[in-house]
Amino acid sequence: MTHPTLPEWTVSPGLTGYEGALADMEARAAAIHAGEARERIWLLEHPPLYTAGTSADPAELLDPRFPVYDAGRGGRYTYHGPGQRVGYVQLDLAQRGRDVRGFVSALEGWVIDTLGSFGVAARRAEGRIGIWTDDPQGREAKIGAIGVRVRRWVTLHGFSLNVAPDLSHFGGIVPCGIAEFPVTSLAALGIDADFAAVDAALHASLPAFLDKLSPSD
């Protein structure tokens, strides 16, 4: 079986509104399914907002100080905002292996590998979605979120990685339904990295991510 070509790599400058991004992502997914567009990795930054996944519990929306959007992805409440790199990953799993669990695991691995290039020992946590590390106080803290949807074997949504957001903004929700653990960021860990550096690290580890998806047949 021939391997798919590399996805289009798109980086949007400035802040991208959530509703427009969602509509763009939905349209692109339909076009990918129809064979009318390439797969895409879309890196962007949102204004401050909360998104509700399909498992969101209204009791976990503590203070709706920012707009709240129904994301249509799996998971619960998530914050997006300035200083956080969001990656919308739109791949055709009909071409790359029809394994949703494998895709999520590979996506987690991609973010973990990227953080590793900055010296951050990030990891998965059994029974807890997301990307975790130890904060300066030695507490286990969440540095990245994963939330995906798969429609007709085309993936939507993806990951968010806390580069240097205002961590107090997470206080309006119970992030991903997990109250007992804090959130952290590269900046909070003392790592001075900008989006350009993070994007370069993501790009460098992209081939390894895609290789994990290679169909076995």
Give the residue numbers marked as catalytic: 176
Q: What is the DSSP letter of 37?
A: S
> Are 210 and 94 contacting, i.e. CB atoms less than 8 angstroms apart?
no
Distant-in-sequence contacts of 184-189, Cβ < 8 A, 24+ apart = 184/133, 184/135, 184/141, 184/142, 184/143, 185/83, 185/84, 185/143, 186/115, 186/118, 186/120, 186/143, 186/162, 187/83, 187/163, 188/135, 188/136, 188/162, 189/120, 189/133, 189/135, 189/136, 189/143
Cα–Cα distance measured from residue 172 to residue 216, given in angstroms and rounded to the nearest whole number: 44
Q: What is the DSSP letter of 115?
A: H
> Are 11 and 40 contacting, i.e. CB atoms less than 8 angstroms apart?
no
Cα–Cα distance measured from residue 127 to residue 188, given in angstroms and rounded to the nearest whole number: 25
